[in-house]
A and B are shown apart, each in its own frame.
Chain A
């Protein structure tokens, strides 16, 4: 059993994935290796831990500090101003709006998982050209995010591929300003996100389904179980943990959206996401303090979600530390 990331963009570092893998792995292996005290393990760990502290923990600590100052990122002085930055994260309408935007991506992740589940189920049965279909559906996930952003700018621009397709199908009435209409833009961008990440979900679901021994299906077939029954009673249980985790991780995933909307719209026309705003505040508006507060809020949400996930989906081997 393990976690899934990539529901919508991965909040970096494949957090979930690692965690449970870690959970499985990290039981001390050495029962004999370290009988005598020696410096050896420390020497081996100096660089890995040094980098870990330098590039992860020091920044996190600094971020907490910046978040209570009015620092602009350039000035030599940082004035401590208490929790003002946090207040404005949750009170200023423009800051609140980014939470609304993330809902589109959150909803998108449901569509994404439904599609992934559908195709994974389909391809877990006998299908011709199975590898070909699998490749087509998965490949978008491997494409560079910048390339994806540009591909879809070309695809959804007025008179582009999407409009042409709709018109060829006689669906002229559906043609819209896909990024120009403020009521449509976030659906468009969330749709691109689904296009990008569906393949990963799909392959993971498929892997989980296929980990069910073949003979169970054969036995079911012999018992005269319909495909629906097989889905309900064999497939669904086998992937429930992954689906559950995917849903939960979709929360932090949808707050961490950055690449696609940044590349396609730069956050304009009401498509600004939490991370785009954070970056803007830090590097354009000279409000490193506020940006840090936003980052801290995101970090806390991610930690909360992870904690929740642990509570709801207990990992049988969490006996790490």
Chain B
């Protein structure tokens, strides 16, 4: 599991860096270089290109420090070019249809498991590597791991504590309906505050709602079971709960008045100043929201993090999983150094600590800021697909035309709810029909 994210990214960051040698990075002939030793043998040397979605960290010099430290450890390494990409998902997806997508990159969400071996160097046996790393299953295929997460996230809701106080909310809501009632209370008692902000315009915050699946049911096998249902938007399944919540808050006008003019950067400030009550974002968002609150003259303590409003057996749950997974371009001509970068990044860079996230290492500690949350909510790590069915879920998804990881379908839910042109039932019927069709076509 992974949360898409985008931070204060600034254009022109790459002015500091040279990407001119990128063209030469196209190997092309080594498609069959699948021997896994190719990436682990030898001494790191030469140059590599790293693609990252963290344009903010490129901009503020953090990556420069990483590169310096990496080169200090491996003196033979000449250069590490870091390319920050603003529209990471879209751009890298398109670039992957060529050979030119850096040496080290984060696996984009739209690549299917069965396509991993076409694009990425296997990093090792999943079973073996699982002794060291967490959350490898998501980017593994047929027993081989193709990516290692840089940090772990939990999925909850970031909120403004003062707004909750003003609205008289003292306990975390335990059901979607209770949550909606709380949002209504915010709307009534805290004028000028949007109870829930979807960040519709920026798309990715809307698509991130997908990563709450598995929470209402508290079922690590939710995704695998979903491939056996014809109607995931019914019978209280997670998609009905999550998308039902989305539909209800939109139709009850508990979200921003004009979703088409939202703005991610501004939303952080709005949450920090209490103009927004809640946003459904992974735990990675906490430090950014705190920073924005402080920048606006408020306190970092105003920002709270609560579990998704659903309980199973009287307990909150939250899925935990890897953020972006780092992988090696199969066309890379410097896989040894690329591998060294990934290992160094996960073990020595201090990245995950700096992100207030869970460490990708098995023996990593839980950061203090998440301690409260993890005390309240039980963490679930989704199980991998059973052998032979690794690609089934994404095949059904593609064939259905829904594309769960794309913001398009949830934006349509918001559109329909706001315009009132279609009822929730109609929306869900269509989704169920599409999913059933996808199942039929993908030959489940």
What is A's interface to B at a CB cutoff of 8 Å? Answer: 72-76, 92, 153, 157-158, 177, 179-180, 182-183, 185, 265-266, 268-270, 280, 283-287
Q: In the complex, what residues of B have CB within 8 A of residue A285's CB?
A: 398, 401, 403, 406
Asked whether A286 and B94 contact (CB < 8 A) given A158-B261, A180-B260, the answer is: no
What's the least CB distance linking A276 to chain B, in Å? 11
| B97 CB within 8 Å of chain A | yes
Is B258's CB under 8 angstroms from A180's CB?
A: yes
Is B398's CB under 8 angstroms from A185's CB?
A: no
What is B's interface to A at a CB cutoff of 8 Å? Answer: 90, 93-94, 96-97, 110-111, 115, 118, 200-201, 203, 257-261, 398, 401, 403, 406, 408, 411, 415, 418-419, 421
Is B411's CB under 8 angstroms from A269's CB?
A: yes
Of B118, B258, B260, B408, the residue contacting A74 (CB under 8 A) is: B118
- Majority secondary structure, B binding face: helix
Q: In the complex, what residues of A have CB within 8 A of residue B257's CB?
A: 158, 177, 180
User: For residue A283, which residue of chain B has the nearest CB?
Assistant: B94
CB-based A-B contact count at 8 angstroms: 65
Is A286's CB under 8 angstroms from B110's CB?
A: yes
A283 to B203 alpha-carbon distance, docked (Å): 16
Q: In the complex, what residues of A have CB within 8 A of residue B93's CB?
A: 283-284
Asked whether A75 and B401 contact (CB < 8 A) given A157-B261, A265-B260, A283-B93, the answer is: no
Is B415's CB under 8 angstroms from A270's CB?
A: yes
What's the least CB distance linking B402 to chain A, in Å? 9
Is B258's CB under 8 angstroms from A284's CB?
A: no
Is B398's CB under 8 angstroms from A286's CB?
A: yes
A182 to B258 alpha-carbon distance, docked (Å): 10
A149 to B415 alpha-carbon distance, docked (Å): 22
Of A75, A92, A179, A286, the residue contacting B260 (CB under 8 A) is: A179
A270 to B413 alpha-carbon distance, docked (Å): 11
A73 to B98 alpha-carbon distance, docked (Å): 11
Is A73's CB under 8 angstroms from B258's CB?
A: no
CB-CB nearest 10 A-B residue pairs: A180-B258, A179-B260, A182-B419, A177-B258, A180-B260, A157-B261, A268-B411, A269-B415, A285-B403, A269-B260
Asked whether A76 and B258 contact (CB < 8 A) given A182-B418, A268-B201, the answer is: no
Given contacts A180-B257, A283-B94, 10 further A-B contacts (CB under 8 A): A74-B118, A76-B118, A92-B401, A177-B257, A180-B258, A180-B259, A266-B203, A283-B93, A284-B90, A286-B110
Q: In the complex, what residues of B have CB within 8 A of residue A158's CB?
A: 257-258, 261
What's the least CB distance linking B57 to chain A, in Å? 26
